Amino acid sequence: MDTIEKIKTQISENPILLYMKGSPKFPSCGFSAQASQALMNCGEPFAYVDILQNPEIRAELPKYANWPTFPQLWVEGELIGGCDIIIEMFQQGELQTLIKDTAAKHPKPEQA
């Protein structure tokens, strides 16, 4: 499976997916830390991919997504955005609603 196919599979199989540097418990950059903290504060499980452990995804995802930076939050196959958008949505209460509604529609995800 090539890298783009792998990305498409991860996005389709995980209704809430965060591409980030590190893991939610041990983030490797400040932006990933803020984004994963906001998601964890929504109270629902989510899948993540550590792009530092997956250099091919780190190289290909920005082209596929047409979004140059990480983290990237994908919900039900759609790119929501990066850290600034995630934090802004969280502060306005939009992220919590989106994550809870999505989680209610899908079984609990595992790490991608």
CATH number for the segment(s) 3-105: 3.40.30.10
Residue 112 has a pLDDT of 54
Provide the pLDDT confidence category of residue 102 given band limits of 50, 70 and 90: very high
Delimit the domains of the chain by residue range.
3-105
pLDDT at residue 65 greater than cutoff 60: yes
Does 29 appear as a known binding residue?
A: yes
Q: What is the mean pLDDT of the chain?
A: 94
Does 83 appear as a known binding residue?
A: yes
Does 84 appear as a known binding residue?
A: yes
pTM for the predicted model, two decimal places: 0.93
DSSP string, 5-37: HHHHHHHHH-SEEEEESB-SSSBSSHHHHHHHH
* Residue located via tokens 């290909």: 60
β 72-75/47-50 pair status: unpaired
Does 42 appear as a known binding residue?
A: no
